[in-house]
């Protein structure tokens, strides 16, 4: 997706430069006509054009390499931690050779575009009208076509970027089902130590006691995993009394927690009761399910008192409570989940979850590490995070992609605006004689401005029409990357169309105003 966006920006730049070169060469019609009259062939003129374009491309390439070095150094700290091979992103000989190849291709594209208008030139007509500043339609049509292409590509890129921005916004504002402030969690730590897989409830209880005793801590718990955590486990959880086809048993996410897990994270207990200290490895197996589990697997059955066949206990576990949903992955809907007391489903790895609203996260993080060090001297203290930091980590790659795509869209839009401004400005220069005559005959400034803006908007409208088809294709291609946003979101498409139209008007205002300042006597001098 990013490669296609970069290619689109490059193509817009080539079209833009080619358009400006075509305009520049059309202003040298007399020179070209004389050269051709003296025997210069089209290949000779093409070589001259490519040499001039090549010099511009070489200067641009040198500046581009310098900008690339600076940009890469600035963006390296922003790279997502889970981006594959991030350390190998460097500007080396291979990337420089690739860039040289791109420069050669871009030079050919931008340099050959003006030849379309050169080959169509009428030598006799050019020699007769040279110096009169007439409006030559042969070149204007080509330049207008180039602007249409620029606007279409820019619109597609801006629409794609807009969809990604809206998707990212929806992603970061996804309700987690837990309190966002004051909660600090730790990475999972081996509770058993030395590779042992036997339950070590003494270590677990000592760690929990130390966590609960930390200054400013209201609630503390130990859990197998936590929202947006790295560790997750799904297992079968069939309901006693219901039959299932082979291989179709209900699948749910498992989490083993201590008593205060729900109060620590602010998860609402909808009905029933929570876990207590009496729910141990020797007591009746119990479990708590979330609303998604009830909706999907217990439809028509009263959840409290129902039994689940779980792989970690010998007898069916009784459902004693129902809690609100919590999200473990932003890109997936609320999933069925069940909880067990940690002593009924002991895991050798567990995490700390602490709620301390009045203590700075950095301070409570150090206290958590200290508690681990005292309870388990041989274990390495875990890293700690706030819920907000976990959210930032979970959305890092989406944020980086959206940032890059947004930057490319802004560059594409600016290039398209530069193209519109250049073409409209050149057209005003070419039509100065016409404007002088009209002003001499009594045309008002408003009429002149309206004429210039109308032509610019007609060209922009052609680009918007083509861009909508291209944007629809691009939106369909990135549909798997979008969350909670339709690839054909009408709000995004409408906003981009309005933005492109307004920008086109702004880019055309100065040339339109300049058209009203034409002096009739100056414009008619050659008459």
Tokens for 173?
């504002």
Q: 1: exposed, middle or buried (C-beta count within 10 Å: 0-12, 13-18, 19+)? A: middle
pTM of the model: 0.77
> Tell me, what's the pLDDT at 135?
45
Ranges of the chain with pLDDT below 70: 26-29, 113-139, 192-200, 230-232, 378, 522-527
Q: How far apart are CA 386 and CA 194, in angstroms?
A: 29
Element at 494 (helix H, strand E): helix 490-515
Q: Calculate the CA dihedral of residues 467, 472, 477, 482 and round it to 10 degrees.
A: 110
- Quote helix, strand, coil % in the chain, to nearest 5: 55, 10, 35
> Tell me, what's the pLDDT at 364?
93
Strands 183-186 and 349-355: antiparallel
Q: Helix, strand or coil for residue 188?
A: coil
> Tell me, what's the pLDDT at 188?
82
> Tell me, what's the pLDDT at 124?
61
Tokens for 199?
């339950």
- CA R_g for the chain: 34
Q: Helix, strand or coil for residue 222?
A: strand
> Tell me, what's the pLDDT at 269?
95
Q: How far apart are CA 311 and CA 314, in angstroms?
A: 8
What DSSP character marks residue 322? E
Cα dist from 410 to 155, 378, 491, whole Å: 10, 53, 19
Closest C-alpha to 260, from 280, 278, 274: 274
Cα dist from 297 to 287, 306, 478, whole Å: 15, 11, 33
Q: How far apart are CA 365 and CA 352, in angstroms?
A: 10
Q: How far apart are CA 490 and CA 159, in angstroms?
A: 10
> Tell me, what's the pLDDT at 334?
85
Q: Helix, strand or coil for residue 318?
A: strand
Closest C-alpha to 183, from 265, 255, 269, 256: 265
Tokens for 396?
């890092």
Domain ranges of the chain: 2-175+395-523, 183-394
Element at 337 (helix H, strand E): strand 337-341
Place of tokens 């402030």: 181
CA 239 to chain centre: 42
Cα dist from 378 to 51, 190, 208, whole Å: 71, 10, 17
Place of tokens 């002096």: 519
> Tell me, what's the pLDDT at 134?
46
Any alpha helices (H) in 284-395, and if so which ranges? 291-297, 361-375, 387-394
CA atoms within 13 A on the CB side of 349: 14
Q: How far apart are CA 246 and CA 328, in angstroms?
A: 28
Q: How far apart are CA 347 and CA 188, in angstroms?
A: 10
For residue range 380-432, list pLDDT tens digits in order.
888 899 988 888 888 888 888 899 999 999 999 999 888 888 888 888 887 88
């Amino acid at each position: 997706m990013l490669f296609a966006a970069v290619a689109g920006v490059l193509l817009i730049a080539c079209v833009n430069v080619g358009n400006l070169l075509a305009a520049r060469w059309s202003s040298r019609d007399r020179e070209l006509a004389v050269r051709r009259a003296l025997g210069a062939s089209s290949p000779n003129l093409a070589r001259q054009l490519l040499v001039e374009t090549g010099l511009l491309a070489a200067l641009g390439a040198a500046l581009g390499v310098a900008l690339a070095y600076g940009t890469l150094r600035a963006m390296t700290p922003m790279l997502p931690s889970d981006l594959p091979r991030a350390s190998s992103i460097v500007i080396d000989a291979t990337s420089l050779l690739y860039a040289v190849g791109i420069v050669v291709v871009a030079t050919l594209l931008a340099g050959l575009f003006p030849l379309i208008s050169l080959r169509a030139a009428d030598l006799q007509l050019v020699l007769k009208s040279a110096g009169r500043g007439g409006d030559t339609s042969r070149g204007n049509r080509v330049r207008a076509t180039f602007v249409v292409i620029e606007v279409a590509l820019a619109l597609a890129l801006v629409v794609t970027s807009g969809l990604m921005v809206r998707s990212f916004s929806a992603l970061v504002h996804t309700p987690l089902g837990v309190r966002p402030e004051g909660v600090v969690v730790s990475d999972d730590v081996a509770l058993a130590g030395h590779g042992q897989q036997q339950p070590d409830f003494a270590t677990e209880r000592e760690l929990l006691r130390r966590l609960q005793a930390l200054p400013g801590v209201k609630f503390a718990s130990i859990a197998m995993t936590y929202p947006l955590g790295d560790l997750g486990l799904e297992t079968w959880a069939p309901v006693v009394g219901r039959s299932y086809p082979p291989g179709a048993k209900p699948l749910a996410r498992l989490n083993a927690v201590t008593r205060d897990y729900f109060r620590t994270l602010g998860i609402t207990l909808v009905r029933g009761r929570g876990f207590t200290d009496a729910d141990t490895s020797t007591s009746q197996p119990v479990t708590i399910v979330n609303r998604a589990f009830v909706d999907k697997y217990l439809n028509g059955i009263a959840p409290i008192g129902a039994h689940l066949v779980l792989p970690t206990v010998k007898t069916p576990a009784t459902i004693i409570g129902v809690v609100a949903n919590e999200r473990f992955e932003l890109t997936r809907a609320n999933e069925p989940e069940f909880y067990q007391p940690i002593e009924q489903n002991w895991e050798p790895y567990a995490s700390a979850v602490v709620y301390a609203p009045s203590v700075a996260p950095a301070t409570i993080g150090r206290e958590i590490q200290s508690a681990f060090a005292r309870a388990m001297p041989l274990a390495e203290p875990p890293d700690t995070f706030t819920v907000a930091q976990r959210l930032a980590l979970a959305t890092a790659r989406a944020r980086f992609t959206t940032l890059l795509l947004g930057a490319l869209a802004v560059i594409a839009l600016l290039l398209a605006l530069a193209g519109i401004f250049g073409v409209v400005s050149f057209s005003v220069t070419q039509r100065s004689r016409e404007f002088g005559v009209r002003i001499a005959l009594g045309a008002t400034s408003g009429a002149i401005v309206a004429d210039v803006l109308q032509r610019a908007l007609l060209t922009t409208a052609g680009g918007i029409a083509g861009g909508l088809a291209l944007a629809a294709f691009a939106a369909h291609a990135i549909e798997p990357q979008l969350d909670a946003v339709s690839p054909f979101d009408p709000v995004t498409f409408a906003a981009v169309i309005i933005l492109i139209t307004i920008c086109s008007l702004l880019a055309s205002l100065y040339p339109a105003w300049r058209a009203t300042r034409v002096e009739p006597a100056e414009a008619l001098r050659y008459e």
